[in-house]
Amino acid sequence: MVQRDTLLHLFAGGCSGTVGAIVTCPLEVLKTRLQSSGLALRPIFQVQLGALSSTGVIRPGTVTPGVLRGLQSILEKEGLRSLFRGLGPNLVGVAPSRAIYFASYSKSKELLNGLFVPNSGAVHMLAAGVAAFATNSLMNPVWMVKTRMQLERKASGEKKMNALQCARYLFKMEGIWGFYRGLTASYAGISETMICFLIYETLKKNLATLESTSPNSEAGKGVSDFLNLMMAAAFSKGCASCLAYPHEVIRTRLREEGSKYKHFFQTGRLIAVEEGYAAFYRGLVPQLIKQIPNAGIVFSTYELIVYLLGDK
């Protein structure tokens, strides 16, 4: 039974992550570009996204004020496929990463319930932290390749590296440790996961209480129940992303090729001194537009699969 439950959480996590990754890939590409050091930061997060040459050098151009204009700029200059750069390694990585994540979270929560007050905030936060640590440690090489692919800027029609070519080039230039650049920033981002799950599990518990008092509680879960879970997940992820976002910018900078960014705190200091504290929130808008619906899709899909295939 324990093995069946673990496999169920692995399967549900993998399916939910795959669905979310495909739907939100263009926003992921835009967010990564905005986080990089190859863009000039303008007041109120305005950037010269459309002013990049094929080599990534900034030249005079039109200031790009919004997410839609940013996506349009990539589409016009680099073609439709550039909006899905990194989707290959994302799909290769997202299913196992979400599977590892949700399975680790479920197992950790089960063990921690025996040590702390069952289903308390401490249990949810610690379980989320353990799950995030395991996932980040195992999947960082895949996300490193994805980020490098998303940062590659070439005009439409020019040949771009695929995931395997990118991995080979990375290994040739930086060795095996190059695949683990940005890992410290990912560990710092565990706080985001912990905050997200704390809020989500609290909301989920309150929703379950409301459902149990409903006249239709014996009829099982309906569409509205999963929509409520979707909204709870979206709200939780939105709050957590805003609070812990700076680690995302630091992680992207650490993963840039041949950059001056070497370590977590050194990168943070450089960004603050050279660009100001506003730079820590570059790409936040597309991140929220991507993460909020993605979290809703991932969590509700996961809950639905567990409900359908588990013991109701």
**What are the DSSP E strand ranges found in 232-273?**
none
Residue 84 CB burial class (10 angstroms; 0-12, 13-18, ≥19) = middle
How many domains is the chain built from? Answer: 1
For 35-91, how does the pLDDT look when each residue is reduced to its tens digit (9 = 90+)?
887 654 444 334 444 444 444 433 333 333 467 788 888 888 888 778 888 777 777
Q: How far apart are CA 49 and CA 61, in angstroms?
A: 9
Both tokens of 240, joined, read 């957590």
Beta pairing partners, 58: 52
Domain assignment of residue 72, given as a range: 2-309
What region, left, alpha or beta, does residue 173 occupy, with left being phi > 0 and alpha being psi -120 to 50 degrees?
alpha
**pTM for the structure as a whole:** 0.71
Q: What is the CATH number of the domain that holds 96?
A: 1.50.40.10
Q: How far apart are CA 28 and CA 85, in angstroms?
A: 9
For 234-277, how does the pLDDT look when each residue is reduced to its tens digit (9 = 90+)?
999 999 999 999 999 999 999 998 779 999 999 999 999 999 99
For 193-204, how does the pLDDT look when each residue is reduced to its tens digit (9 = 90+)?
899 989 998 998
